Chains A and B, each alone.
Chain A
Amino acid sequence: MASIRLENITKRYGNTTVIDNLNLEIDDGEFFCILGPPGAGKTTLLRLIVGLEVADEGNIYIDDELVNTVHPSQRDISMIFQNLALYPDKTVFDNIAFPLRQRKMDKETVKLKVVDVAKQLKIDWMLKRLPSQLSGGERQRVAIGRAIVRQPKAFLMDEPLANLDALLRLEMRVSLKNLQSDLKKTFAYVTHDQVEALSMGDRIAILNEGILQQVDDPETIYRFPEQMFAATMLGNPPMNFMGCLLETGNQKISLRHEAFAAVVDNPDLTAMLTSKVDGKDIVIGIRPEDITIYMDRPDRDDLIETEIFVSEPLGNETIVDIKLGNEIIKSLAEADFPGVRGNKVWIEFDRAKFHLFQKKTGECFFHASDEAFFQILTYP
């Protein structure tokens, strides 16, 4: 059993604040992902939890017990590093057995536990090999075996799949998720790969420059991101951001983009935009899968005429980059989409999937739920 709680944690290196007044609660038995770009502070966070770093301010609790001054070896947490850190001169068996022997366990019990874990991870046939004789995926499993065999309260993993081939990463993602399900232990998993976080996490904490952006289950962050950063972090290709200017002069308020205008057709949203929003720079966010492309000119006047910048056919779908005024936005089309660079196309937004952000703060202040909120006007 292990819940992990961080209260008002701050960590500095010289003049740089790497973690800034962070509050976080990881529930017992949760597969918790910490997602952020390189340099966000994710590894530092893990190292603080396991005890390899000491916070400048704040408290860390494991299972409600204050562990600030508890030595890493006494915190009963296992950590798997990105480079695995396997002992190169020890066999697979000895690598996995190491933490048990450290604790002076007897020979018979060690053998039982190591073989048991090895069978679980399907590496029991290679116990006599050295790490140098194993493939990347096999080494990965040895590192996991070494972490599991101790039966710690919780597992911390620092980008464990980053060094694996794309194909192996896919397989290991499912393996790890199933493993956590079987073990029923708390996993704190650091990654910069949003697909990993989306597919594996029960909840995700999005971290940027030492500050927590949003903590929620993947689906909530995907559908209701709280700021532009969180909106970008989940979803591949990421959400498109279209810069607009708020125009209040006319009868109805509109958000004016270089290539179109979104006229607001709802009194509540109108009120929000006139009174609560600070400044005139509004960003409309729309995900690639919520844009439809028409190759032939349809008999409607609410579609925006644009041009294809680049088309990426990926086999099961096509990513189409489109020029929209000064910007380039991405949309998802079917596998046999025929359009190529330079083709003129017409696009339609699913207005029920608009998200409005304040450019100044990056904060999201409105998630559309109905296409009736907006009407699209195009320029002749």
Chain B
Amino acid sequence: MANILLDNLVKTFGKQTAVKNLCLDIKDGEFVAVLGPSGCGKTTTMNMISGLLQPDSGKIYFDGKEMNNVPVGKRGVGFVFQNYAIFTYMTAFENIAFGLKIKKLSEGDINKRINEVAALLQLEKALHMKASRLSINDMQKVALARSMVTEPKIFLLDEPLSNLDATLRNVMRAELKNIQKELRQTAIYVTHDQIEAMSLADRIAVMNFAVLQQFDTPLKVYNRPKNLFVAGFIGSPTINLLDAVYDSGDFILADFQNKKQVVSEKNRARIHDLLKQEKVVLGVRPEHLKLSDSVEGNGNELTARVVSIEPLGSKTVVYLKSDSDTGNVIKAIMGSDYRPKVDQVKTLNFREKDLYLFDKISTELVFRF
């Protein structure tokens, strides 16, 4: 168990800044996902926490104790790598025992710890099989078990599920979550997959281009994203972002032939106070956008043309383009039976309270209706 404090960490590689002034406080027993696209600095951050990389400046504290000069082997961290790094010629048991043997634990202690962890991970049957013969799922569990038995203060997991095929990933995600809740171990989980982050994390640290964008619970990151990047990165399909101009209390939508999105009375004053300039972006998530058949000649409605349909079994994702030539593709989630035809015109319906208002220049979230 350990809380972690990152104080202004900086890491550059030549001219490239990989991590810029990162401050993060992770509570004891918390599961934190570090989420971002390739190259955002998440793996570099994890490597600094573990000690595999030295920051150029800034400090790292575990339980209030400064770690910068403590070597990797003495930080009490357990790793689970993306490619497992298991010894294929050893049995599952021997793999898991490896770290404990090096620490010179007694055979009795080793057996006890391994049996406990194997029970937790449902690995009992595979324990005495040669690692090369294990299923990928079991190999992943062995990698996890090997870390767990050393009873580390902190777990560091680097995209551990990315090598699994889609079906297995689903199963392992739920199991991982269950294990973490049982153990209540501090864990840092690096991933580019927002579904994993949303599902597993107590809090998510979203990174982009070496900078921390937001550090919050999944629900907050989803419902109150700090900026356009976070809003667009979390949620699948991605949020719809509509360019607009603030004009006399209402919004003129550039993507919809300058039709007006009228703001309700109760929100007008607040928005007037909060907006610093007139160029904005209105966000609405696909699940909040409902489609209905268009009525000819109803000038006030927002309409768009169906360009593509993705039936996903339990729901259908519909892609539409408005008549304005902005090229902006709108996404709506409808029920599993919904089957519009390509080129059909649909009316877009949403509630004001589902809207997000962003400042287009600063990209920050200004108001959540």
Which residues on A are within 8 Å of B, measured CB to CB? 37-38, 136, 165-167, 170, 173-174, 177-178, 192-195, 198-200, 218-219, 222, 232-238, 287-289, 309-310, 312-317, 319, 321, 328, 330, 332, 335, 341
Contacts and interface: CB of A to CB of B under 8 A. Distances in A.
Contacts of A165: 37-38, 192
Interface string B8-38: 0000000000000000000000000000011
Contacts of A218: 311
Given A236-B313, A314-B199, A316-B333, A335 B287 contact: yes
A289 B314 contact: yes
Given A174-B319, A178-B308, A309 B174 contact: yes
A166 B169 CA distance: 14
Given A174-B308, A192-B166, A312-B173, A199 B317 contact: yes
Main secondary structure of the interface of A (DSSP, over half): mixed
A219 B311 contact: yes
Given A178-B307, A315-B235, A236 B177 contact: no
22 contacts: A165-B38, A167-B37, A167-B192, A170-B236, A170-B238, A174-B308, A198-B311, A198-B312, A199-B310, A199-B312, A199-B317, A219-B311, A222-B313, A235-B314, A236-B166, A236-B170, A236-B312, A287-B314, A312-B173, A315-B198, A315-B222, A332-B314
B329 interface: yes
Is the interface on chain B under 10, 10 to 19, 20 to 34, or 35 or more residues?
35 or more
5 tightest A-B CB contacts, nearest first: A199-B310, A312-B199, A289-B314, A315-B222, A316-B287
Given A199-B317, A287-B314, A310 B193 contact: no
Interface of B: 37-38, 136, 165-167, 170, 173-174, 177-178, 181, 192-195, 198-200, 218-219, 222, 233-238, 285-287, 307-308, 310-314, 317, 319, 329, 333, 336
Contacts of B178: 309-310, 321, 341
Contacts of B136: 38
B307 to A, nearest CB: 7
Contacts of B222: 315
A218 B336 CA distance: 12
Nearest to A191: B166
A38 B164 CA distance: 9
A312 B193 contact: no
Given A233-B167, A313-B218, A167 B314 contact: no
A288 B336 CA distance: 13
B235 A316 contact: yes
- Which among A167, A332, A341 has the greatest number of chain B C-beta atoms within 10 A? A167
